[in-house]
Amino acid sequence: MPTLRWSRYLHGPSARLSVLLAVWSTAQGGCNRAPRQTSAPSAGEASLGRPADQIRLRITTDSIGPIALDSSVRALRRQFPAAKDTKYFVEENQVDGLEFVFGKLIVTADIPTADSVPAESWVVNGEGGILPGGVAMDAVWGELRRKYGKPDVHGGELGIYADFPRLPGLALGINDLILPSHTVQALYDHPDADSIPDSARVVARVLIVRPGRRGG
């Protein structure tokens, strides 16, 4: 079973929002893979009516494609009956999640204690995500910087991610498997957005926390 681990980080000194860093790992490095397709339609194909490789989801702090992030977990289960329960870990504590598959995207929500309230945090992995302003989440690094400004880059034991000044409430997880080893080491030793080549496609996931739901 894949393992999703989270670590908290305060998103910007002014906003003081909690951002969640997710690392999706399998024995084959599955965090950077698209979900495996089967003959049965995924939740996304069933709800969006398009083949998997044509599905595009707009990602904001209010919604991920057809998913309204202020919907209760109970309502989401009714709206998306193909969504599956999953599990991840926060500091060695097992946490329940709800997983949605839309084409080549996997969307995972944490499940609060009561399913009558919305999920507090979300992560989007895969291909086909569209960020605010119309830029694909897997756009080259230079395009992301031109659109959203120079980000703060953070490296730690759970991975590398970037906070862009014009993407409040979202954090982009970096796929360090495709970067040269010396670049990865530089990002951990002295995190700097300039260490990542403008031509690189390095974003592997988008992380969202609902404003005001996790304090810092």
The Cα 14–Cα 7 span in angstroms is 20
How high is the pLDDT of residue 36? 40
DSSP state of 34: P
Domain borders along the chain are 3-32+43-138+157-175+204-209
List the structure tokens of 97: 């999640």
**CB neighbours of 215 closer than 8 A, spacing ≥ 6?**
18
Place of tokens 């079973």: 1
Helix (H) or strand (E) holding 134: none
Give per-residue pLDDT as tens, 46-68. 456 666 667 889 999 999 999 99
pLDDT at 80: 95
Pairing of strands 84-90, 129-130: unpaired
Query: Under a CB-based contact definition with an 8 Å cutoff, are residues 10 and 20 in contact?
Result: no
Distance CA 119, CA 70 (A): 8
Q: In whole angstroms, how far apart are CA 96 and each of 18, 83, 108, 112? A: 19, 13, 10, 8
74 has a pLDDT exceeding 50: yes
Going by C-alpha positions, the residue among 69, 84, 76, 74 that lies closest to residue 123 is 69
DSSP annotation of 128 reads -
For residue 21, pLDDT beyond 60? no
- Bridge pairing between strands 93-102 and 105-110: antiparallel
The residues, ordered by sequence, that sit 6+ positions from 14 with a Cβ below 8 Å of its Cβ are none
pLDDT at 211: 54
Lowest mean pLDDT segment, chosen from 39-43, 47-51, 116-120: 39-43
State pTM to two decimals: 0.75
